[in-house]
Amino acid sequence: MAHFKFRQYLPVLIHLLAWGLIGPLLLFPPRNWRVEVPDEWWVKQGLLFVLLVALFYLNQRVFVPRLLFKNRIGWFVVVLGSTVFGVYWIIQGIEWWLHLPELWHRAFRPNQPFDPRRERRFDMFTVLYALLVLGISTSVSVVQKWQKDAQIRENLERDKIASELSFLKAQINPHFFFNTLNNIYALTMIDVDAAREALHKLSKMMRYVLYDTQEGTVLLSQEIEFVKGYIQLMQLRLTDKVKVNLETPTPLNDLPIAPMLLLPFVENAFKHGISARANSHIDIKIGQQNRVLKVEVRNSVFTDQSTNLEQSNGIGLANTRRRLDLLYHGRYKLDVIEQNADNEYQVVLELWS
């Protein structure tokens, strides 16, 4: 919040600083002037200051956005040159209107006659002041536009990531729902009571998906309970040939985590790591060490099934790496071993919070 307020008032501070530097240059005469400065000189400097202020904001609000930012650089240079020329001649006219050349002549050369033709000299300081103001004005405008464009790009990138995450999550949720309904449909052919219990569990899980995950993060304890519910739902149709083991951290350090981030690994294990004919197993271990969350999923490997994380046709699994890149960029490690020493498919995920 403090950073936002500083950025909000930064343009005002820049303007105050600019005029705080230019003002003293105009309103204080050089120290080597050993004569009394006439009142007309102060009037001329005050009018010059007003002209420079008008020039500053005219350039910032009109010339820069309408010419420079639209890549009309040639016209921009011509307009600035014409503006400096105009300011110079306006100040020259004001000096002669206030009789300043004659007053300076009397102050510095009182014993010589005044000749207006000899007193017409090129006023380099007015040109330098005008160029300085235009340079500062252009620089401030360019920096402000760069900051604004950077903020727009940042907001667009944030919106893009949020939209992509929503899209990925929307793909995961129907995928999970579709697979689970298929399992329940198959269960109705075998055990109606078990199918009814499965529907009840599924309704509780869908409430979690639809309502509890809308904030972007959930507590680790909620995600573990969701995984437990999913395992219980899957076990309703499993035979004794399948052993499922789940280990959770004790004590549990409840940290925020992206919702349904663990489900694709568990779902992949149930989809590819069990067999109706042979003994099979799924081992899920969720552990914590300091602020590192480690999830390890190991399951049986069958030669007639593919459990490749990248090529699996499970939509949720295919999106997992992308979600991790978006949500935990530089703060996660994912290792996939298609066949370890124990002839298991193994996934190890580490998250740093």
pLDDT band at 332 (very low <50, low <70, confident <90, very high): very high
Task: Tell me the per-residue pLDDT of 222-269, one tens digit each, with 9 for 90 and over.
Answer: 999 999 988 988 887 778 889 999 999 988 989 999 888 888 899 888
Residue 321, pLDDT > 90, answer no
Task: Tell me the per-residue pLDDT of 175-217, one tens digit each, with 9 for 90 and over.
Answer: 667 777 887 888 888 888 888 888 888 888 888 877 777 777 8
pTM for this model (two decimals): 0.56
Sheet holding 280-289, edge to edge: 242-247, 280-289, 292-300, 344-352, 332-337
DSSP 233-278: HHHTT--TTEEEEEE--SS----EE-TTSSHHHHHHHHHHS--SSS
The residues with which 298 forms a beta bridge, in sequence order, are 283, 346
pLDDT of residue 294: 95
pLDDT of residue 1: 45
Residue 317, pLDDT > 90, answer no
Range(s) within the chain of domains with CATH label 3.30.565.10: 190-352
pLDDT of residue 308: 45
The mean pLDDT of the chain is: 79
CATH top-level class of 190-352: alpha beta
pLDDT band at 53 (very low <50, low <70, confident <90, very high): confident
Tokens of 268: 């992949």
As a whole number of angstroms, the distance between CA 46 and CA 26 comes to 8
Residue 280, pLDDT > 70, answer yes
pLDDT of residue 312: 46
Residue with tokens 């689970």: 180
